[in-house]
């Protein structure tokens, strides 16, 4: 497979509830479709972008535009808490104050396994090409 020189970053696709500058689903789908038409087949997202909505929208675009899974590259990331309990862009949540279990974020084996399963489900695919650590886990 030939990977496009450019990668479409999907941080700004998903839900305005996360950040006001994020494109809504309809506009996101349009932009992803145009990028694919232009030859971009490498897409980068993260479980934390719009609390998973970015991955879900990318998955919807893959289906809508009939992108053959074997012809695209999907990159996503792991580290932060990603759930609808935290709709804003609070990347550095005080886990003690919020009573969030240690395995709900970071790079523990359990969180990585749980996060990859959740990403696969949101993306609607059976594998991820590039799984990245979003930040150092002290």
Is 91 a member of any domain? yes
Is 3 a member of any domain? no
Over pLDDT 70: what percentage of the chain? 82
What is each CA distance from 54 to 64, 109, 115, 119, 123, in whole angstroms? 15, 24, 14, 10, 9
* Mean pLDDT in residue range 73-92: 69
pTM: 0.86
**Is the pLDDT at 98 greater than 60, yes or no?**
no
Q: Write out the residue range of the structural domain in which residue 85 sits.
A: 8-133
Instruction: Please identify every residue annotated as catalytic.
Output: 49
Is 89 a member of any domain? yes
* Mean pLDDT in residue range 62-79: 96
DSSP conformation letters of 47-106: TTGGGGHHHHHHHHHHHHTT--GGG-EEEEEE-S--STT--S---S--HHHHT--GGGST
- The enclosing domain of 79 has a CATH number of 3.20.20.100
> How does pLDDT run across 6-45, given as a tens digit for each residue?
999 999 999 898 889 999 999 999 999 999 999 999 999 9
Q: How many separate domains does the chain show?
A: 1
Is 138 a member of any domain? no
């Amino acid at each position: 497979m030939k990977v496009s020189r450019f990668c479409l970053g999907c941080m700004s696709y998903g839900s305005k509830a996360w950040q006001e500058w994020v494109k809504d689903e309809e506009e996101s789908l349009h932009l992803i479709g145009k990028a694919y038409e232009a030859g971009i087949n490498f897409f980068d997202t993260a479980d934390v972008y719009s609390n998973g909505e970015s991955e879900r929208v990318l998955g919807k675009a893959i289906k809508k535009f009939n992108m053959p899974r074997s012809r695209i590259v999907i990159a996503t990331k792991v580290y932060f808490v990603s759930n609808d309990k935290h709709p804003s862009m609070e990347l550095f949540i005080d886990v003690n104050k919020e009573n969030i279990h240690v395995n709900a974020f970071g790079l523990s084996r359990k969180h990585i396994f749980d996060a990859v399963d959740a990403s696969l489900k949101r993306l609607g695919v059976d594998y991820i090409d590039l799984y990245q650590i979003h930040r150092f886990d002290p």
